[in-house]
Structure 1
C-alpha cells in the first residue's frame, strides 16, 4: 500500500455547482480521469458519486445519503435534467458523466498507469465477465479481484466483514462498487480508512453493462435524457413507482426552480 502524502498539490478544481441540494463538480469525464490519476500518483484516494435524479430525490429525504454526498471527493452529474437545470441557472455543468462510462475510461487509465482494479457487484459471474471484457479492450489491465456478494450481505456484520476483507486484502488502487446507491456508498465509506490510497467509484449497474449482461439505452436516448424511459420499459414492475411517482415530479420541480431563478435574475 502506498502511504498517503500531503506534499503534491491537489488537482485544480473549479467551485461546485449546487443543484437540488447537491454540490456537483463541473467536471468533464476527462477531468475526472485526470483528477483521479493525479491523486493516485500522489498517494491519495477518494470516492466518486454520480448522482442522477433518483439519487437527488433520495438525498432530499435522507440525511445519511446527504452526508455521503458531502463526504465524496468527486460528485459528477449522471442525469441530463441536472445538466439542463445547471444551464438554466447560468452555472452550466459541462456534460453528463456516468459510472457506466467511467468504468471504461478509468480502466483505460488504470491499464496505462499500472493501477490494479477491483470489481464488486452484480449477480454471480457477472464481475468476472466484466473483467474479461475490460481486459480485452484495455490490454495490460490488472484486475486484482472480483466479488458478487448476496443481495442481503449488508444486513449482518458477518456479511459486511466478509466483503470488506476481500477488498482490503486485494489492495486495489481503483475499486468499482456496483451495488446501487446508497448501499454501495455506505460500504465505500466503511473502507476508506483501511484503503486511504484507493479510489472508489459507486457505479450502480456499470459492471453489468461492461459485462454485456445488461443493455444500456441507445446513445440518442442517453443524449436526450430518456435513458430512464429505456430502463422503465425494461423493468416496469420494479421501477414504475420510483420513476413516475418520485423522480419525474422531482425533475419537473428542479427545472421549474432553475427556470424561475433565471427569469428573476434577468427580469427582477
Structure 2
C-alpha cells in the first residue's frame, strides 16, 4: 500500500492479516478514528478501502483490481467473514469496521472538530438528501458540497476533471465520502488521493441510503452474528440473491477453509521445530 504522506493511519499497517492476497488491518474502530484525527490535524490525507467479501471475491478474480485495492493507505474489514477468517488464521482482527457505521462516526468527528465533509456519488439524488440528513443529525457538521457525476470504470480524464472542478469550487475539504460502488469508487479515490492530499477519502458504497432512511440497517444482533448480508438481501432480493448466495458464499467457504488450514500448517511447523 502507498500514500502521499505516511501518517498515523498508514502506521496501522504494522499489524495486518493476509486474506486472499489483501493485507487487512488488525485494528479497532476507535484506533482507526484516533489515527484519522491525528492525520487530519497534521494536514495528512488518507485513502481507506472498506473490504468485504465482494472485495475479496473481486480481487481474487481480477489481479488489476487487487492491485488497485493494495494502493490504498489502509484496508479495513467491513465484513464478519473477514473477522472470522482472521481468527481462524490465528491473527485476529478485533472487530468489523462497517463503512456505513464509519460514515456516521466520521460525521460526528467532523462536527466536533469543525471539519468539512463532501458527499460524492450516490443514486437518484440521495447524496443531497444524505447531506441534509447528516447535517440534521450532527449540528456543526460542515457539508462542503455534494456531487453525483456519471463515470466509467475506470473514469476518464474528462470525468475526473469534472470531479476535480466540483471539489475545487467547494474549497478545502477534510473528508470525502465516495459512494459509487466498487471498484468504481476505488478508481475515483485513487485518482483523488494525489489531487486532495489533505483529505480523508473513503468509499462507502450504498451508505448514503442509510443516512436518508431509504435502506434500514440490520438489527444489532444480526450485525453481531454476521447476518447483515441477509437483511440487505431481503431488502433487495432481485439484485443481491445472486451476489450473496451464488457469488460470495463459495468464496466465504474457501476463505474460512484456507485460514483454518494456515492455522494448522503454522501450528505443525512450530511443533516440529
Q: Same fold (TM over 0.5)?
A: yes
Match of 2:162 in 1: 162
Q: CA deviation at 1:28?
A: 1.2
Q: CA deviation at 1:152?
A: 5.7
SS in 2 for 1:76: strand
Contact 1:5 1:43 in 2 (8 A): no
Match of 2:221 in 1: 220
- Deviations along 1:210-237, one digit per CA (max 9) or x if unpaired, are 1212222222221111112222222222
Q: CA deviation at 1:141?
A: 0.5
Backbone CA RMSD of aligned residues: 2.2
Q: CA deviation at 1:136?
A: 2.0
**2:44 matched to 1:44?**
yes
Distance 1:132 1:107 in 2: 12
**2:240 matched to 1:252?**
no
Aligned pairs, number: 263
Match of 1:108 in 2: 108
Structure 1: runs of 5+ lacking an equivalent: none
Q: CA deviation at 1:247?
A: 0.6
Distance 1:5 1:152 in 2: 28
SS in 2 for 1:123: coil
Match of 1:264 in 2: 265
Between 218-227 and 144-153, the greater mean CA deviation after superposition: 144-153
SS in 1 for 2:23: strand
Query: Compared with structure 1, are the counterparts of its residues 130 and 193 closer, same or farther at alpha carbon in structure 2 (3 Å cutoff)?
Result: same
Q: CA deviation at 1:251?
A: 0.3
Contact 2:153 2:187 in 1 (8 A): no
**2:25 matched to 1:25?**
yes
Match of 1:64 in 2: 64
Distance 2:30 2:105 in 1: 8
- Deviations along 1:143-184, one digit per CA (max 9) or x if unpaired, are 000122247696655444323321233231100111011101
Q: CA deviation at 1:111?
A: 1.3
**2:174 matched to 1:173?**
yes
Contact 1:177 1:204 in 2 (8 A): yes
Distance 1:182 1:191 in 2: 14
Contact 1:153 1:159 in 2 (8 A): no
Distance 1:127 1:168 in 2: 18
Distance 1:240 1:10 in 2: 39
Query: Compared with structure 1, are the counterparts of its residues 115 and 87 closer, same or farther at alpha carbon in structure 2 (3 Å cutoff)?
Result: same
Contact 1:121 1:179 in 2 (8 A): yes
